Amino acid sequence: MPVAVRVIPCLDVDAGRVVKGVNFTDLVDAGDPVALAAAYDAEGADELTFLDVTASSGDRETTYDVVRRTAEQVFIPLTVGGGVREVADIDRLLRAGADKVSINTAAIARPDFLREASHRYGAQCIVLSVDARRVPGGAEPTASGFEVTTHGGRRGTGIDAVEWAERGQELGVGEILLNSMDADGTKAGFDLPLIEMVRARVDVPLIASGGAGALEHFAPAVERGADAVLAASVFHFGQLRIGEVKDTLRGAGVVVR
Amino acid sequence: MARVVVLDYGSGNLRSAERALRRVGADVEVTGDFTAAVECDALVVPGVGAYAACMEGLRAVRGDRIIGRRLAGGRPVLGICVGMQVLFDRGIEHGVETDGCAEWPGTVDRLRAEVVPHMGWNTVRAPEKSVLFAGLDPDARFYFVHSYAARTWELNPEPPMIPPLVTWADHGGPFVAAAENGPLAATQFHPEKSGDAGAQLLENWLSASV
């Protein structure tokens, strides 16, 4: 039996609270990331991702506290991203109890940050988060047709997203978190061509993200080469349950836990 | 209550191991102190990252001596992930060979699979008499995250010596997922991150240790 495909819920955390609507039954405080993390663990989540969207760096201490409290209660892997700019940030997150740290914008500004991070902490805990979109009409096209974006997909960089993922692997990251900014929020399914193109170029694990809206959306992402599937709002709103996603994947012949 | 030390030699996330052991009823101290680590009821040697860096950190707290002295006294040691790998003779990463603690013969080298690191939940094949996996469902999955492993097991003594119990997993081929050799045990996966199955394994280890 091969390693199981992971189903990963992602929580956006702002100053210690979950943002984006959360409609989770049986939770006393649906805005508490620690309570949500425990609920997802109980539902069979294979891993958890926190995306720290805290704007002010002064409030960042609350994120470390959330990570600490989550690690006390939840015994599955925890990845934390958002605002990771220097080695000291990684160090703090790992010490708080994160198992992996995802890096996005800081690596675009300085790719060697990935090399340094991987060298120091090991490839297994450094994730490159790539926010990709199709290059809009009028802009300079890239070889793959996809470019890396910043600012939540609003700003294009002109960097080829597929080449960037490959570069990340060369620089030592142990995993790629591939977010389709075109599919994100549409609930129309994952961006399958994007997943397929990146899979063809990297052999580290690949997490597909963006676009999940129905149970039948997950298996095609795995067929195109995703090792893990990530979603946020469909889980938070209780629209899809982790268990249902796994049952559907299992029905499609995918190995899940 | 079992007094457990999680050996702190500057390697990664120790909090998870500490919490998971506490969850199964251990009195846990995270320290690099030589005497505390030698004298506790049970010692956990964690480890993440590069083999060479882990060995350097381990030697800096005389971790190899700590392990050796405990084993000479029949006192339990559990290596986790790279904390297991350093128990072998040597590790080879990026063509660089590093001496390990040499408690077990053999070499740790790169997995040969389509996707590396091996990251996620996988099943294992435990031998019948295993203490670590006692009572666990044969389909139970454990959380792995590693690019290197012992792909062979070389310690197979003749009777009356007791052969170690070796548990295997597959990722592009078989590798050692766990080994039980008298007071020395180790897992390539992370029991502290493997939910209820991992907690059961830690509990099994603790009960057999004290």
- Which residue segments constitute the domains of chain B, with CATH numbers given? 3-209 (3.40.50.880)
pLDDT per residue as tens digits for the range A114-138: 999 998 888 999 999 999 999 999 9
Interface contact A77, partner B, CB < 8 A:
yes
Tell me the C-alpha distance between A120 and B168, whole Å.
Answer: 29
pLDDT band per the 50, 70, 90 thresholds, residue A30: low
CATH of A6-252, one of 3.40.50.1970, 3.40.50.970, 3.20.20.70, 3.30.420.10: 3.20.20.70
Distance CA B70, CA B57 (A): 19
pLDDT for A1: 63
Mean pLDDT for B185-198 is 97
pLDDT of residue B141: 98
Identify the DSSP state of B192. Answer: G
Q: What's the whole-model pTM score? A: 0.95
A206-232 mean pLDDT: 97
Contact criterion met (CB below 8 Å) for B109 and B148: yes
Say whether A95 and B193 touch across the interface (CB within 8 A): no
- Which residues from chain A sit within 8 angstroms of residue B121, using beta carbons? 3-4, 6, 46, 257
Q: Which residues of B144-179 are buried (b: 16+ CB within 10 A; e: fewer)?
A: bbbbbbbbebeeeeeeeeeebbbbbbbbbeebbbbb
Q: Average pLDDT of chain A?
A: 92
Distance separating alpha carbons of residues A107 and A123, to the nearest angstrom: 15
Kindly provide the ipTM of the predicted complex, given to two decimals: 0.93
**Per-residue model confidence (pLDDT) at position A28:** 53
Chain B residue closest in CA terms to A123:
B49
Per-residue pLDDT at A29 = 64
The predicted model gives A98-120 an average pLDDT of 95
Reply yes or no on whether the pLDDT at A222 is more than 60.
Answer: yes
User: Do residues B81 and B48 lie in contact, with contact meaning Cβ atoms separated by under 8 Å?
Assistant: yes
At residue B55, does pLDDT exceed 70? Answer: yes
> Which of A49-53, B60-64, B98-102, B116-120 has the lowest average pLDDT?
A49-53
**Residues of chain A neighbouring B116 (CB-CB closer than 8 A):** 203-204
The confidence band for A54, taking pLDDT boundaries of 50, 70 and 90, is confident
Encode pLDDT of B2-53 as tens digits: 999 999 998 767 888 999 999 999 999 999 999 999 999 999 999 888 899 9
Active-site residue (options: A131, A182, A184, A191): A131
Round to whole Å and give the CA distance between A98 and A78.
Answer: 5
pLDDT tens digit sequence for B131-184: 999 999 999 999 999 999 999 999 999 989 999 999 999 999 999 999 999 999
A2-9: average pLDDT: 96
Chain B residues closer than 8 Å to A41 by CB:
195
The reported pLDDT for the residue numbered A38 is 94
Determine the pLDDT at residue A26: 54
Query: For testing the chain A interface, which of B15, B54, B122, B189 should be mutated: the one with the most A CBs within 10 Å?
Result: B15
From the list B120, B123, B195, which residue is nearest A227 (CB)? Answer: B120
* Model confidence band, residue B111 (pLDDT cutoffs 50, 70, 90): very high
- Whether A46 sits among the annotated catalytic residues: the reply is no
